[in-house]
């Protein structure tokens, strides 16, 4: 949620977006995002747009997200948006049963495609993206200074312990042998062989 303060009085017709860099420990599912965009529940651009959702944290890369915000009906100078994120698998840990993923607060961007606002006190943001999720051509985005509610958010992701690896391997092997035996018994009993 963003409240534009004094700038918000003139921001009618302007687009507001939040730009954030997701660390390798979390990701946005592009298929879920496509479904949300199809139902007009959110608008966002992912860079890169091809994401390996099954990659573990130690093989993943950062993800840049430009999340378009909608005007808040309860507040004339407020904008809001939501985007579901998912935690990635992490390596097993030695002692702690959780890994910490730090998410920095997003940068707030404003784009007035009709140039209604003077941009003297804003710095141009190096973002090549349309003013809204639907426009084809890019337009000039400006980064605005804002007061943060939180400098960063910390996500706690549960991880396995290395000392449990032998037990996990043995149980996985036993479950595989048991299930394979049941499948083979069913094929032998009910299968038709010629």
pLDDT, one tens digit per residue, over 32-54 is: 999 998 998 888 888 887 889 99
Give the pLDDT confidence score for residue 97 in this predicted structure: 87
- Residue 182 CA to residue 71 CA, distance in Å, equals 57
Length of the chain: 194
168 Cβ partners below 8 Å, 6+ apart?
A: 160
- Residue 149 CA to residue 6 CA, distance in Å, equals 18
Helix, strand, coil proportions of the chain in percent (round to 5)?
Answer: 25, 30, 45
Quick one: pLDDT band at residue 176, thresholds 50, 70, 90?
very high
Give the pLDDT confidence score for residue 123 in this predicted structure: 63
Give the pLDDT confidence score for residue 11 in this predicted structure: 58
- Residue 68 CA to residue 110 CA, distance in Å, equals 10
Give the pLDDT confidence score for residue 56 in this predicted structure: 92
For the chain, percent of residues with pLDDT exceeding 70: 80
Is the model's pLDDT at 139 over the cut of 90? Answer: no
| Residue 25 preceded by cis peptide, ω within 30 | no
Tell me which of 176 and 105 has the higher pLDDT. Answer: 176
Give the pLDDT confidence score for residue 114 in this predicted structure: 56
Q: Which residues pair with 70 in a beta bridge?
A: 80
- Residue 110 CA to residue 161 CA, distance in Å, equals 45
Q: Which of 85, 106, 3, 75 is nearest to 36 (CA)?
A: 85
pTM for the complete prediction? Answer: 0.72
What number is the average pLDDT over the span 107-128? 64
Give the pLDDT confidence score for residue 169 in this predicted structure: 93
Is the model's pLDDT at 4 over the cut of 80? Answer: no
Quick one: pLDDT band at residue 184, thresholds 50, 70, 90?
very high
Q: In this structure, are residues 137 and 39 in contact, taking their beta carbons and an 8 Å threshold? A: no
Q: Are strands 63-71 and 78-80 parallel, antiparallel or unpaired?
A: antiparallel
């Amino acid at each position: 949620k963003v409240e534009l303060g004094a700038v918000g009085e003139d921001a009618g017709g302007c687009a507001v977006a939040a730009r954030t860099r997701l660390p390798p420990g979390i990701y946005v599912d592009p298929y879920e995002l496509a479904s949300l965009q199809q139902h007009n529940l959110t608008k966002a651009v992912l860079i890169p747009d091809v994401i390996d959702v099954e990659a573990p944290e130690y093989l993943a890369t950062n993800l840049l997200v430009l999340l378009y915000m909608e005007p808040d009906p309860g507040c004339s100078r407020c904008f809001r948006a939501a985007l579901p994120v998912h935690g990635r698998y992490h390596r097993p840990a030695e002692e702690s049963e959780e890994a910490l993923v730090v998410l920095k607060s997003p940068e707030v961007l404003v784009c007035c495609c009709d140039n209604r606002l003077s941009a003297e006190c804003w710095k141009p943001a190096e973002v090549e993206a349309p003013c809204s999720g639907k426009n084809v051509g890019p337009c000039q985005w400006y980064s605005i200074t804002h007061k943060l509610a939180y400098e960063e958010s910390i996500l706690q992701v549960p991880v396995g312990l290395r000392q449990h690896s032998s037990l996990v391997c043995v149980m996985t092997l036993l479950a595989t042998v048991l299930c394979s035996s049941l499948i083979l018994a069913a094929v032998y009993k009910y299968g038709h062989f010629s």
